Amino acid sequence: MSALDNALDGLLGKWKGELLSILRIVSAYMFMLHGTNKMFGYPTEGRPFELMSLNPGLAGVLEVFGGALLLVGLFTRPVAFVLSGLMAFAYWMAHAFRDGGSFLFPVTNGGDAAILYCFLFLFISAAGGGSLSLDNMMKKGA
């Protein structure tokens, strides 16, 4: 390890659990906004919500309720895994070949957020919810 790595590990290493929790909370909140936009037209006006559709229906429900579970850190790993799959599916179904954009350059097809959420949630499904999660609190209480 370099001196910089050692310095950063000393400075931030003791906060890994808390920083992972902050990453989970912030990303869940931002993700929920996509769902509330689809389901309720909030914070911006979205298209009419149709429950029996993939988008905005199922996707909106998963974004709101899955995002809420991630926000509080309950069932974090399985929920994050499902949401990671949702985002992979969303990229290939809604973005990869949109408007002549290239799937190799997601900024051209609007799919960059879907890819980031996909891999962020995949990481959270492997790492867990961090020290500030209901999962962690229930594990300590058991």
pLDDT digits (tens, 9 = 90+) for 71-86: 999 999 999 999 999 9
Q: pTM here?
A: 0.88
Q: How many CB atoms lie within 10 A of CB 12?
A: 11
How many domains does the chain divide into? 1
Whether residue 87 is predicted with pLDDT greater than 90 in this model: the reply is yes
d(CA 107, CA 93): 16
pLDDT value at residue 73: 98
HSE value, Cβ hemisphere, 13 Å, CA-based, for 131:
6
The answer to whether the Cα torsion of 123, 81, 36, 68 is positive or negative is: negative
Query: pLDDT band for position 38 (50/70/90)?
Result: confident
d(CA 26, CA 10): 24
For the residues 121-132, what does the mean pLDDT come to? 97
Domain range enclosing 107: 3-141
pLDDT value at residue 142: 64
